[in-house]
Amino acid sequence: MSNKKNIFELIQESQIWKSVFRSGIPKTRRQKMMTVLNSVFLHLHPVRLPRHAVKLKFTWCMGGLTFFLFLVLTISGILLMFYYRPTAEYAYNDIIDMAEQVPLGIMREIHRWGAHAMVITTWLHMFRVFMTGSYKPPREFNWGVGVILLVLTLLLSFTGYLLPWDQLAIWAITVGGNMARATPFLGSEGPGAALLALGDINFVHMGADARFGLIGGRFVGEGALLRFYVLHCIGLPFIVMILMAVHFWRVRKDGGISGPT
């Protein structure tokens, strides 16, 4: 009887289980460490944390919440992509349909409110990092990465704002896009734009400047909708994911979450 193994032991001794989980059930310190190091997902995270690092009072959990919201937005966003068509003809109605005709149409609201929340948690995370002095050496590089991630979060928010294709969206992007006109040298109304000219021919004008590259036309139209859609769904998340990996990795490599001094 004592030789008989129960079902859990049989599973854990099978080749399939062992091929996936190389270090067995983590019981000893060494096994625990190996479990973290052997997983591509877990290894970004430190093997062990100082006690203060898990105190809600210290971190507010804001970085983690931001990452959680990013995952929520990624999943709900992928679900929305199954219905949304980024053309002037369909975009607005597809979003209405999604809310009214599709089961679990609340996905769109989750995506929108999650986006608002992520902007807020990103700011609060930055505020916390500032107040605890966690931007100081040796973490100054990671602060820089974080600032870029904040800008990318705002850009994701901005590009997503156009997609409902209602009056609010179109005019908000019109106003926002006009800022690009003032880009130095590359905006048609920015300082130095007139310098890039040969005699009477201006190289930087309404039809070829930073704003045009952004919205793909002289006004916010179908070109802008498609460009913003691609940036929102592929371009920006691609960069964000790479930088997030760097960000988390550096938290660990710079000595873990900063402690009270």
Cα distances from 171 to residues 12, 63, 90, in angstroms, run: 60, 32, 18
The binder of another protein chosen from 219, 242, 245, 259 (CB under 8 A): 219
Structure tokens at 153: 């979060």
Among positions 53, 60, 178, 239, the unique one binding another protein when judged by CB under 8 A: 178
- 174 touches another protein by CB under 8 A: yes
Shortest CA distance to 158 belongs to which of 240, 231, 62? Answer: 231
Work out whether 216 is an interface residue with another protein (CB under 8 A): yes
Of 56, 19, 70, 21, the closest CA to residue 248 belongs to 70
Residue 175 found at the interface with another protein (CB under 8 A) = yes
Question: What one-character-per-residue DSSP string does 147-169 give?
Answer: HHHHHHHHHHHHHHHHTT-SHHH
Task: Tell me the longest C-alpha to C-alpha distance in the chain.
Answer: 97
Contact yes or no for 105/82 (Cβ under 8 A):
no
Binding residue for another protein, selected from 64, 213, 255, 259, defined by CB under 8 A: 213
The smaller minimum CB distance to another protein, of residues 130 and 171, is found at 171
Comparing CB distances to another protein, the nearer of 53 and 182 is: 182
Q: Position 156: which residue type?
A: L
37 part of the interface to another protein, by CB under 8 A: no
The amino acid occupying position 80 is: L
Member of 138, 184, 191, 207 binding another protein (CB under 8 A): 207
Binding of residue 157 to another protein (CB under 8 A): no
Q: Please tell me whether residue 171 binds another protein under the rule CB under 8 A.
A: yes
Please tell me the distance from the alpha carbon of residue 171 to that of residue 220, in angstroms, as a whole number: 8
Is residue 208 a contact point for another protein (CB under 8 A)?
A: yes
Residues that bind another protein (CB under 8 A): 171, 174-175, 177-178, 206-208, 212-213, 216-219, 221
